[in-house]
């Protein structure tokens, strides 16, 4: 691992190439020598024409231009450079301190403006501002991660409870985002390997503890789960005099939440920022129904069978969320809770909701479900364009940010920012990028999800799955007496033998949910309120 760090650091320290154009370049030899001793590569020319030829023929990281060269002036040369390479940083150096000259230079998009005589230290400072800033950030981030690498490794091996897993996962996501912003691709690869090790240990932890969580949901050692999140987190927020808007963004991973979180801090006051655990399967049919019902899938199937369909039954599996929500509220509150439930699937539905938000301010609770992130993950599997746009986790995060920036949800939040309201943001489960195909055999009634299977007479590779032979132990319904469940571990995905290679090529590297991973199970929950005005 140390060799990889060393190689990476040497790669990011490649010489910066500078072009310096000044008709009195001989007087600047000491400056050029100083820069070269600092590791920069400098080419010198004495006029604007030669500078343009060099820019046309070679690649430079920055250009220094004397403003008062004979022939083409510095501003004229600058204008021609920008026509050729608009993103090339150019620094204008001049004896002239007149305001109109500075305005012309700034209007021509110069990167910096220096007044003669220029000291070598000024040049270095300018270079660091323009060119080295990104490299220095990357180098500092790399060094900081390198220092924490061993500590993370030790933590992964010693985590014992769910709170420690939450903290470790948050730390891993923090480094993912830090390395994203610094373009440290080599370090990102190393972090990915470390996260893979974490997922191996996390799977062991879940297999050891999950069934006891489901049988003892109120135990101190049990985290907030899908079916307990309303009782443990949501109900305490509800106030008759202050409407609460609960935004459930389907399939929102914690790292995706951290991408859009700054918007909420800018516009609202944070009350609570937390996480909870999705139940298994980490699939909408199970997790989201349990959230709104306040019951496990097994309890829903027994107590409210009219609102539950098993995997092998025809029909939409999330058609009764509104009814489940109403049932949970009536069961837990003596007085009726005035509420609304809205599912946003299209741009038109989002616009209608935003335009009618005033009508919702009379409710105690307004639940709004946005399905867009889930659509991204499914479209990424099915459409070649989406595969390119969301080719890896970094791109997936970026695409989520792009959606949010231009979404109706943001427009609605903008309206709510001026109202006296509470805001809850949460999800039903996350998703993970799958890479390892694992063969599985089941009959025609076996569920189709590739991160979990429910059926009878299932055949599978035991090292790739968590097996639940008695579904009631995991609070899951049984379609028949021999039904069992298997959940894919880490980055595995379950593929039938028929057309095996075709399905492997189709699903490999796609984002899926239903199984066990940090990204699927540890999910965001946050509460905000209007800023005091």
Of 28, 9, 6, the C-alpha closest to 19 is: 28
Q: Is pLDDT of 132 > 80?
A: no
Decide if pLDDT at 6 tops 60: no
Please give the Cα distance from 362 to 177 (Å, whole number).
Answer: 39
Mean pLDDT of 362-376: 86
Average pLDDT over residues 457-469: 94
Concatenating the DSSP letter of every residue in 415-445 gives HHTTSS-EEEEE-S---EE--EEEEEE--TT
Is residue 5's pLDDT more than 50?
no
Helix, strand, or coil (residue 279): coil
**Which of 94-98, 290-294, 479-483, 486-490 bottoms out in mean pLDDT, i.e. has the lowest?**
94-98
Which string of b and e fits 340-370 if b means at least 16 CB within 10 Å?
bbbbbeeeeebeebbeebeebeebbbbbbbb
Arithmetic mean of pLDDT, 362-381: 78
Predicted pLDDT at 103: 55
Residue 134's pLDDT is 62
- In the DSSP assignment, the letter for residue 26 is G
Q: Quick one: pLDDT band at residue 128, thresholds 50, 70, 90?
A: confident
pLDDT for residue 341 is more than 50: yes
In terms of Cα–Cα distance, which of 60, 63, 55 is closest to 20?
63
Q: In this predicted model, which residue has the larger pLDDT, 378 or 428?
A: 428
What is the model's pLDDT at position 385? 53
Of the candidates 370, 445, 377, which has an alpha carbon nearest to the alpha carbon of residue 410? 370
First to last CA, the chain: 52
Rounded CA separation 65/88 (Å): 13
DSSP-derived pairing of the beta strands 459-460 and 436-441: antiparallel
Q: What pLDDT score was predicted for residue 11?
A: 44
42-46, 110-114, 408-412, range with the lowest pLDDT: 110-114
Q: What is the pLDDT of residue 12?
A: 40
Orientation angle between helical segments 162-182 and 133-158, nearest 10 degrees: 160
User: Could you give the count of Cα atoms lying within 13 Å of 441 in the half-sphere of its Cβ?
Assistant: 4
User: Is the model more confident about 315 or about 360?
Assistant: 360
Task: Report the percentage of the chain scoring pLDDT > 70.
Answer: 89
The answer to whether 523 touches 278, Cβ cutoff 8 Å, is yes
- Are 287 and 409 a contacting pair, CB within 8 Å? no
Q: Is the pLDDT of residue 153 over 90?
A: no
Label residue 249 left, alpha or beta by phi (over 0 means left) and psi (-120 to 50 means alpha): beta
Query: What 3 state SS string does 383-414 have?
Result: CHHHHHHCCCHHHHHHHHHHHHHCCHHHHHHH
Higher pLDDT, 456 or 132: 456
Of the given ranges (100-114, 281-295, 434-448, 485-499), which has the lowest mean pLDDT?
100-114
Task: Mean pLDDT check: name the lowest of 81-85, 186-190, 514-518.
Answer: 186-190
Distances (CA, A) of 373 to 49, 209, 402, 407, 530: 52, 30, 11, 11, 26
Cα separation, 404 vs 419, in Å, equals 21
CB neighbours of residue 178 within 10 Å: 20
Question: In whole angstroms, what is the distance from residue 206 CA to residue 201 CA?
Answer: 9
d(CA 154, CA 246): 38
Under the banding of pLDDT at 50, 70 and 90, the label for residue 160 is: very high
DSSP per-residue letters across 222-251: SPPBGGGHIIIIIGGG-BTTB-EEEEEETT
Query: What pLDDT does residue 93 have?
Result: 87
Q: Quick one: average pLDDT of 149-168?
A: 92
Residue 93 burial (CB < 10 Å; 0-12/13-18/19+)? buried
- Mean pLDDT (whole number) for 209-218: 96
> DSSP assignment, residue 474?
G
Mean pLDDT (the chain, rounded): 87
Q: Is residue 98 over pLDDT 70?
A: no
Q: By mean pLDDT, which of 323-337, 387-401, 485-499 is the weakest?
A: 387-401
Give percent of the chain with pLDDT exceeding 90.
55
Q: What domains appear along the chain, each with residue ranges and CATH number?
A: 13-118 (3.40.50.2300), 132-208 (no CATH), 224-431+520-530 (3.40.720.10), 433-513 (no CATH)
Helix-helix angle 393-405:162-182, to 10 degrees: 80
How large is the average pLDDT for residues 171-196? 84
Q: How far apart are CA 100 and CA 189, in angstroms?
A: 50
Tell me how many degrees the CA angle 34-39-45 measures, rounded to the nearest 5. Answer: 60
pTM, entire model: 0.77
CA separation for the pair 19, 100 (Å, rounded) = 26
pLDDT exceeds 60 at position 362? yes
Distance between CA 102 and CA 94 in Å, rounded?
A: 10
* Model pLDDT, residue 166: 97
d(CA 63, CA 42): 10
Which of 436-445, 462-471, 508-517 has the lowest average pLDDT? 436-445
């Amino acid at each position: 691992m140390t060799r990889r760090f060393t190689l990476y650091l040497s790669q990011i320290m490649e010489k910066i190439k500078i072009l310096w154009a000044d008709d009195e370049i001989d007087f600047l030899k000491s400056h050029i020598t100083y820069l070269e001793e600092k590791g920069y590569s400098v080419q010198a020319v004495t006029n604007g024409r030669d500078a343009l030829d060099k820019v046309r023929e070679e690649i430079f990281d920055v250009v220094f231009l004397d403003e008062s060269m004979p022939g083409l002036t510095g501003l004229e040369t600058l204008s021609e450079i920008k026509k050729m390479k608009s993103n090339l940083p150019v620094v204008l150096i001049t004896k002239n301190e007149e305001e109109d000259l500075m305005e012309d230079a700034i209007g021509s998009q110069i990167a910096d403006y220096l007044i003669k005589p220029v000291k070598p230290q000024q040049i270095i400072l300018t270079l660091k501002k323009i060119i080295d800033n990104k490299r220095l950030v990357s180098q500092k981030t790399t060094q900081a991660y390198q220092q924490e690498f061993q500590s993370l490794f030790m933590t992964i091996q010693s985590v014992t409870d769910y709170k420690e897993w939450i903290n470790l996962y948050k730390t891993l996501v923090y480094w993912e985002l830090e390395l994203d912003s610094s373009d440290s691709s080599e370090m990102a690869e190393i972090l990915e390997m470390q996260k893979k090790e974490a997922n191996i240990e996390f799977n062991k932890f879940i297999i050891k503890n999950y069934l006891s969580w489901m049988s003892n949901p109120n135990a101190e050692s049990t985290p907030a789960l899908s079916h307990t999140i309303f009782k443990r987190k949501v109900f305490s927020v509800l106030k008759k005099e202050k409407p609460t808007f609960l935004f459930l963004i389907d399939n929102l991973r914690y790292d995706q939440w951290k991408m859009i979180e700054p918007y909420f801090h800018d516009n609202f006051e944070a009350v609570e920022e937390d996480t909870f655990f999705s139940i298994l399967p980490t699939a909408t049919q199970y997790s989201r129904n349990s959230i709104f019902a306040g019951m496990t899938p097994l309890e829903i199937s027994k107590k409210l069978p009219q609102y539950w369909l098993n995997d092998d039954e025809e029909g939409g599996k999330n058609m009764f969320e509104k009814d489940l929500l109403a049932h949970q509220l009536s069961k837990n509150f003596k007085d009726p809770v005035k509420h609304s439930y809205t599912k946003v699937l299209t741009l038109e539905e989002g616009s209608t909701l935003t335009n009618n938000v005033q009508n919702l301010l009379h409710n105690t609770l307004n639940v709004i479900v946005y399905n867009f992130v889930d659509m991204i993950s499914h479209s990424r599997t099915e459409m070649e364009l989406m595969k390119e746009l969301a080719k890896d986790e970094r791109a997936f995060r970026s695409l989520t940010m792009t959606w949010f920036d231009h979404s109706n949800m943001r427009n609605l939040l903008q309206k709510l920012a001026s109202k006296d309201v509470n805001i809850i943001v949460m999800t039903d489960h996350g998703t993970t990028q799958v890479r390892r195909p694992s063969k599985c055999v089941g009959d025609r009634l076996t569920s189709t999800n590739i991160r979990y299977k429910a059926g009878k007479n299932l055949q599978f590779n035991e090292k790739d799955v968590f097996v639940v032979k008695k579904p009631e132990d995991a609070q899951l319904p049984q379609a028949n007496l021999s039904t069992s469940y298997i959940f894919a571990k880490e980055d595995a995905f379950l593929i039938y033998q028929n057309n095996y290679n075709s399905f492997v090529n189709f699903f490999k590297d796609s984002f899926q949910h239903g199984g066990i991973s940090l990204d699927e199970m540890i999910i965001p929950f946050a509460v905000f309120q209007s800023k005091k005005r």
